[in-house]
Structure 1
Amino acid sequence: MVCKAASMPWPCAARLKSDRLLLEPLSIEHADVMVNVLAPRELYRFTGGEPPSAEELRARYARQARGQSDDGTAGWLNWITHPRNGGPPIGFVQSTLHQAAEGMTAELAWLVTPSAQGHGFATEAAQQVATWLHSIHMQELNALIHPEHEASAHVARRIGMHSTTISPDGEVLSRKRLAATDTR
């Protein structure tokens, strides 16, 4: 499936499943349940900010669900992460897409609410998205990680990303180049 952007087509998020998780494409309707997932203040230790209200999430999700930036130069893919056996959401995975000279690149971000952390859910969700992005011919995956956020750095390593010496805005860039033969 392809979303038609102003300047070029961007892929649309597909519903994804892993062994333990269901990754559902983001919709505005997720705001009311995600407000609880995003409420714990410890989630903002490395990123800053405050827990969003339901109204703020509805506005944010309305923008994100469009699938592209206002100027059309970036594609946006967002998934809400649920346990596959049912229950409320436990987090999300986001990907911002860019067209580069060597092909399309994706910047990944993931979050799991504190009550569900420590069980490998972030790694499983991020790996499922990375595998799907590879299947749609993404050339490179990137993640910006706070240098003290060891849990996120661990997720990046587990999905095959490698830290670089590049540090935009004080975060460390982790990267994985996807070759045509890479099927992970």
Structure 2
Amino acid sequence: MGPLRTDRLDLVPLRVEHADEMAEVLSDPALHEFIGGEPATAEQLRLRYEKQVAGSPDPTVTWANLVIWLRAEDRLTGYVQATIAHGTAEIAWVVGTPWQGRGIASESARALADWLRSTGVTEIVAHVHPKHAASGAVAAAAGLTQTDAVVDGESRWRWQTTS
């Protein structure tokens, strides 16, 4: 997939070369409170990104991994991603701590969800920690609705075509 553009952002396909800057963007341990794990080093991200850039080993699954470029600051601020299979896309987003609260995650997730809908995806799903109100707001901004389902302790948010 090519880049996506919003009023303030460029969502650019992930490249291995993004690892150094993304290691800085994702370096705050507090960022991992809801997503788990701990900050990755640039080398760990390079190895992860090599696999992600290569694409899914399953030919029925497509990975869309995009970094978020904030044009006004001329820098990366986070990422959005989708795993697409059989008409369903599971999406996720992470924005570095210094850029949170500025609508970057909502704008990015909405752009990704709009693009997915334009490709014929019939269902979009996100899993959000029930105590992470900000991520719930991002899911809602992307057009998803919270369901009663809980998977691995996370609330399932969903959009599906009405046709």
Interval containing the TM-score (normalised by the shorter chain) = over 0.9
Distance 1:28 1:149 in 2: 29
Are 1:17 and 2:15 an aligned pair? no
Deviation of residue 107 (structure 1)? 0.5
Distance 1:90 1:61 in 2: 16
Residues 85-130 of structure 1, C-alpha deviations (whole Å, 9 max, x = no match): 351100100101111xxxx110110111111111111000011111
Name stretches of at least 5 consecutive residues in structure 1 with no aligned partner. Answer: 1-12
Aligned residue number for residue 139 of structure 1: 122
SS of residue paired to 2:75: coil
Distance 2:140 2:82 in 1: 17
Pick from 51, 70, 75 the counterpart of residue 62 of structure 2.
75
Give the fraction of aligned pairs with identical amino acids, expressed as a percent.
42
Distance 2:58 2:121 in 1: 21
Distance 2:112 2:161 in 1: 13
Pick from 76, 94, 103 the counterpart of residue 89 of structure 1.
76
Are 1:110 and 2:93 an aligned pair? yes
Distance 2:30 2:74 in 1: 22
Pick from 132, 135, 139 the counterpart of residue 149 of structure 1.
132
Deviation of residue 166 (structure 1)? 1.2
Deviation of residue 26 (structure 1)? 0.4
Distance 2:33 2:82 in 1: 21
Aligned residue number for residue 160 of structure 1: 143
Deviation of residue 73 (structure 1)? 4.1
Distance 2:101 2:36 in 1: 22
The AA in structure 2 aligned to 1:56 is Q
SS of residue paired to 1:118: coil
Distance 1:150 1:72 in 2: 35
Structure 1 runs, 4 residues or longer, greater than 4 Å off: none
Distance 1:144 1:18 in 2: 24
The AA in structure 2 aligned to 1:60 is R
Q: Which structure has more helix as a fraction of its residues? A: 2
The AA in structure 2 aligned to 1:39 is S
Deviation of residue 31 (structure 1)? 0.6
SS of residue paired to 2:27: coil
Aligned residue number for residue 172 of structure 1: 155
The AA in structure 1 aligned to 2:156 is L
Name stretches of at least 5 consecutive residues in structure 2 with no aligned partner. Answer: none
Deviation of residue 77 (structure 1)? 0.6
Distance 1:90 1:116 in 2: 7
C-alpha RMSD over aligned residues: 1.3
